Chains A and B, each alone.
Chain A
Amino acid sequence: MSPMTISQDVPMVELSALDELWFQVAGTRCNLECTHCFISCSPHNDKFGFLSIETVERMLEESVEWGVREYYFTGGEPFLNPNMVMILQRTLKYGPATVLTNGTVLKTEWLTRLRSVDESSLYSLEFRVSIDGPTPEMNNPIRGPQTFQRAMQGIERLVQFGFLPIVTMTRIWDESEDDVILTQFRQVLLDYGYSRPRLKILPRLKIGAEARRTEGYGRHDRVTSKMMEGYDQSQLICNHSRTVTDQGISVCPILIDSPDARLGNTLKEAATSFPLRHGACFTCYQYGAICTNPSAKRVESS
C-alpha cells in the first residue's frame, strides 16, 4: 500500500489497527527532571494532568470494539498518580498492561497488591524501569543525583516481589557502544541479584528537554514520501496505536506536546491518518517499534 501524501514530501500514515492504547496517566508530572526528557516532565510541569480512573475505564471500555491488544501507561512518573495501582488492577481485566516507571517511588504496599493482582490475571503485568546506563556516572548526570541507586533499589524490590522488570535505557552513548553497554548492564543487574535481566534500548528523541541538552533535529531530519516506498509501516507506532491524555487523544506518546498530535476526544475521532512531519517521526522511522515491548516487536517484514 502506498502512503497517502498531503504534500510531496510529507507522507501520511493510516491507523491500520489499534493494537496498543497508551495512557499518559501521570500527565507531564514527574518526581525527576531528566535532561533528555522528550516532553520535559518535571515536578512542576502541569501541562498535562493525571488521568482519572473514570477516564481510564471509559477508554478501556471504548477500546474493546477496536480490538486493542495491549495497554501501556506512561507519564511523567505513573506512580505519582494516586490511583495507579487501582488503574492497573482494572486494566488487567481487559488485557496486558505495561507501566513505564523510573522505579524510584515504588512502595511495598503497592507491590504487594500488584503481586496479587498479577497472580490472579491471565495477562502479563510488565514494568519498564528507566535507567540510562550501567553506572551512576552515566545515569546521574541525565536523571539526577542518586537516581541510579534509587532506581536499582526499585529493580531489586520488583525482583523480590517476583516481577521481571525490563530495564529501559535511552541511548546517550554512540550506537556502536550498544553491545558493550548491554553486556556491562547485564552483569551489574546480575550483581544486584537480578538473575534474568531484561533490557531495552531506546533512541534519543531530540525534542523537549533533549533538544536543549543537545542539538535537536536538523531541517533534513524528516521522513519523505520516497523513504516510505517499500517501508513496512507497522514499524511506526502511529500505524497501530494512540495515546490517551487528559486533553484528548494524541497520535503517539512522543509527540503529545505538539498541537497537531491531538487528533480528537474519542478513539473514533483519533483514527485519522497522521502526517510524518516531525523530527521525532524520523527517529521512529529509523529505529522502528521503539515504544513497544520486545514481546510485541514486529521484525520488519520484507
Chain B
Amino acid sequence: MQLAFFGGIYNNYLALEAAIRDAQRRRTEEMFCLGDLGAFGPHPDRVFDLVRTANVMCIQGNYDHSIGNDLQDCRCGYTDQRDNHFAQISYDYTYQNTSPDNRVWMRDLPKNLRFEYDGVRFLLSHGTPRQTNEFLWESTTSTHFLDKLADDYQSDLILGTHTGIHWQRALQHGRRFVNVGVLGRPENDGNTNVWYTIIRTGNDAQQKTETSFVGSTLANVDVEFVPVNYDHERLAREMLKEKLPDEFIKTILTGWWTTCLEVLPAKERQRGKY
C-alpha cells in the first residue's frame, strides 16, 4: 500500500494542488490530511473542493476546531502583541471567507483516525492522539515519551503535524512517530518548497526508490518526505491582494518564519533566521 499524508494546508490551495498531483503521479492509493485547512494564506474556500474531489480524508486541526465552532480567535495566546495582531488578522480573514457549509464540515471532522494496512496499525492526529493542539517538536520530545504514546494507543505508526516541521523517530519494536510536515508554508529553512509524506507498507515498501528517506526497522514500512515546489510567487501576489500581513508573505517568498516564533524550542529556533 502506498499512502500520502498532508499536514496543515493553511489555505495554500496552490501547494495542495501540486501535492495532490504529485501523489497521484506516484500512484498513491489513498490521501489523508491531518488538519488545519485554514490559516495564513488566501481564499480559504478553495481548498475544500480540492480535498473532496481527490477524496482526501481529513481529520480536525485546532484551527478547524476554532473556525468550525465560531470561536473568536485561534487561541494561539502569544505574549508578543505583534504575533497576536497578525494571528488575529489571519484568523478573521479565514473565518469571514469560509462558507457556513465548510465551517460545519470542519466542525464535524474527527479528531483522530485509526486504520490498519499490511498489519501496520496507523493512528493519525493533528497534534497528539491525546490533544489536538499539543506540540511535538523534534528537539523537545523524548523517545520514551513517544514509546509510551505508542503503547497507550496501541499503534505502530503515529502521525502528526501541527508544529510545521517534518521529522520522524524510530521507536521500540519497529514502531515509529512521523510528523508529516505541512503544505501551508515552508519550513523555516530558507527554502520556499513545502513538504508532505508518503508511507509505503507491505510489498510497496520493498520497492524503495533512491529518494527513500529512512528504511524502518518495521520490515514492511517505508517513510518518504517529499518536497513540493509550487507557484509560491502567485500565492504571495494573491496574499498581497487580499491584504494579508506582509510578514506572512515574506515567509512564503523567503522560506523563513517571521512571526509567532516563541513556540519554537531552542534548536528549531536556532536553525531559522529570525
Contacts and interface: CB of A to CB of B under 8 A. Distances in A.
Contacts of B134: 298
B140 A182 contact: no
B274 interface: yes
Contacts of A299: 62, 75-77, 133
Contact of A64 (B132, B144, B268): B144
Interface residues on B, range: 35 or more
Given A164-B269, A164-B270, A295 B142 contact: no
Contact of A294 (B132, B143, B263): B263
Contact of A68 (B77, B145, B268): B145
A43 B166 CA distance: 46
B142 A182 contact: no
A interface majority secondary structure: loop
Interface in B63-107: 65, 69, 71, 75-77, 79-81
Contacts of A295: 135, 137, 140, 263-265
B27 to A, nearest CB: 34
A124 B265 contact: yes
A301 B132 contact: yes
A70 B139 contact: no
B243 interface: no
A163 B133 contact: no
B114 interface: no
A17 B71 CA distance: 29
A265 B147 CA distance: 25
Given A196-B269, A301-B131, A19 B76 contact: no
Contacts of B79: 178, 182, 199-201, 294
B3 interface: no
Contacts of B149: 67
Contact of B266 (A63, A65, A124, A297): A124
B231 interface: no
Contacts of A63: 144
A102 B2 CA distance: 52
Contacts of A294: 79, 262-263
Interface of A: 17, 19, 63-70, 94-96, 122-126, 162-164, 178-179, 182-183, 186, 196, 198-201, 234, 293-302
Closest 4 CB pairs of A and B: A67-B148, A95-B142, A69-B145, A124-B139
27 contacts: A64-B144, A66-B148, A67-B145, A68-B144, A69-B145, A95-B145, A96-B141, A122-B138, A123-B140, A123-B267, A124-B140, A124-B265, A124-B268, A162-B270, A163-B266, A164-B266, A164-B269, A186-B80, A196-B269, A294-B79, A295-B263, A296-B140, A297-B77, A297-B135, A298-B133, A302-B65, A302-B75
